[in-house]
Chains A and B, each alone.
Chain A
């Protein structure tokens, strides 16, 4: 429909951005919220979310292939997470990764699936911000236990659950893999449905 003003965001784009950013954030929020409810699934939250938001992301890029759109997605997700009281580093991650994803997609003119998928892998890492506190908490645990007169250290805890330095890269790799799967599902649904239904 729209041929004029190919590169600049117009009112209709901002309105699309508003709606689809909400859908993206709500999906991430609901799926992420469910995943975080049990200690077992807790570390897998970003991966599970990455599987589900891929379709929304791919439709988003296909519908609003303009510079700035993904940045606003990041900003809106950050605001929504922030005002609901989620850990603020997640918001910061969404802001930064949104801008990076925007650049990556723009470098492929929003039409290169490989670039878009890469951008999505970056975006999908944003929920990792939720784990930053884990970096400071062991120290606090040690302090707490010392206070109680127990000198066991968190080092021991981490050792005994079999995790060491590789936990973080493992989570990143896991999330990227899930993001690739989520993105591929997104592309499939885009071809199978959204293009045929005439909304992109």
Chain B
């Protein structure tokens, strides 16, 4: 089952809007269950298990632990546990989207959405720079370690401004240089052609997309019904 990235974005949007309007725990479990099912079907079993355990733990805290506390403490724990739990179905779909979509597929989908070209370029570079930023960070951290400057949270708490400076200076200067070099490589390969770019990656809707979208519409309908009837 391969979904179009646009479908994944759509179900993520539906889930994140619905989940905070929803009042029924049953409906929330169905939203979470659907997310888990998609993750499991895409073969990411470890993530599925992790999210299942986390979701159930937070659910049990709400149902069985919160009532044990006095109302003040219970209220705070409730807020925290429920807030995070309500984000979980979005996290599930988010990691489903990220784990199952290559950057080029995602960009192909974005291109099809006919956003302005400049925005697409910026977004492409954002996604491309992500791993580079990781490389840069570990190299800067090494350099700091050799000078006896700590990049750890402890160091950050002790000397926040200084630590910020020591990380930002090499990182931002290097980013500027890399930005210039990527630009040169991109414009000498014709990124400024005025015509519309084509895209080798093909994204198209399939029957699966239709099914998943219908499923989510049904979920929203179910949620509205449950809210009206006050289903637990």
Do A and B share a direct contact in the complex (Cβ within 8 angstroms)? yes
A: which residues have CB within 8 A of B?
9, 11-12, 14-23, 25-26, 34, 39, 42, 51-52, 55-56, 59, 63, 68, 72, 75-76, 79-80, 82-88, 133-134, 136-137, 140-141, 143-145, 147-148, 150, 152, 154, 156-158, 160-161, 185, 189, 193-194, 197, 199
Contact assessment for B72 and A156 in the assembled complex, using a CB-CB cutoff below 8 Å: yes
Alpha-carbon distance between A185 and B124 when the two chains are bound, in angstroms: 30
Among A14, A59, A88, A136, contact of B172 (Cβ-Cβ < 8 Å): A59
Instruction: Select one of B79, B119, B182 contacting A15, CB under 8 A.
Output: B182
Q: Is the CB of A11 within 8 A of B186?
A: yes
What 19 additional pairs, Cβ within 8 angstroms, besides A12-B179, A194-B172? A14-B125, A17-B122, A18-B129, A22-B133, A23-B172, A39-B80, A59-B172, A72-B118, A84-B95, A133-B20, A134-B83, A141-B82, A144-B78, A154-B75, A158-B75, A160-B72, A193-B169, A193-B173, A197-B169
B175 touches A20 (CB 8 A): yes
Q: Which residues of B contact A160 (CB under 8 A)?
A: 71-72
B210: interface (CB < 8 Å): no
Check: B216 CB closer than 8 A to any chain A CB.
Answer: no
B183 contacts the other chain (Cβ, under 8 Å)? yes
Within 8 A of A (CB), among B70-107: 71-72, 74-76, 78-80, 82-83, 86-87, 89-95, 97-98
| Contacting pair B67 A150 (CB below 8 A) | yes
Q: How far is the CB of B2 from chain A (nearest CB, A)?
A: 18
Q: In the complex, A84 Cα to B75 Cα: how many Å?
A: 27
- Asked whether, in the complex, the Cβ of A22 is within 8 Å of the Cβ of B164, the reply is no
Evaluate whether A11 and B176 lie within 8 angstroms (CB atoms) in the complex, with A83-B94, A84-B94, A185-B161 already known. no
Minimum distance in angstroms from A130 CB to a CB of chain B: 9
A42, A52, A157 pick with most chain B CB within 10 angstroms: A157
Which of B8-16, B37-45, B201-209 lines the interface with chain A? Answer: B8-16
B53 within 8 A of A: no
* B141 interface contact, C-beta 8 A: no
B133–A75 contact, CB under 8 A?
A: no
Cβ-defined partner of B76 (8 Å) among A51, A148, A161:
A161
Interface centre among B72, B168, B186 (most CB of A within 10 A): B168
The docked-state distance in angstroms from the alpha carbon of A161 to that of B161 is 32
Going nearest first, the 8 A-B pairs with the smallest beta carbon separation are A18-B125, A85-B94, A157-B75, A85-B90, A199-B176, A18-B122, A85-B91, A152-B71
**Can you report 11 A-B residue pairs in the complex whose CB atoms are below 8 A from each other?**
A11-B121, A14-B118, A18-B123, A23-B171, A76-B122, A83-B97, A84-B94, A87-B16, A133-B20, A136-B21, A150-B67
Nearest A residue to B73, CB-CB? A157
Q: Tell me which residues across on chain A come within 8 A of B129, comparing CB atoms.
A: 18-19, 22
Nearest A residue (CB) for B92: A85
Does B173 lie within 8 Å of A199, measured CB to CB? yes
Which chain A residues border B89 with CB–CB below 8 Å? 85
Contact check, B179 vs A83: say whether CB atoms are below 8 A apart. Answer: no
* Residues B87 and A87 in contact, CB atoms below 8 Å apart: yes
Task: Kindly state the separation between the CA atoms of A83 and B5 in the bound complex, as whole angstroms.
Answer: 11
Cβ of B196 < 8 Å from any Cβ of A? Answer: no
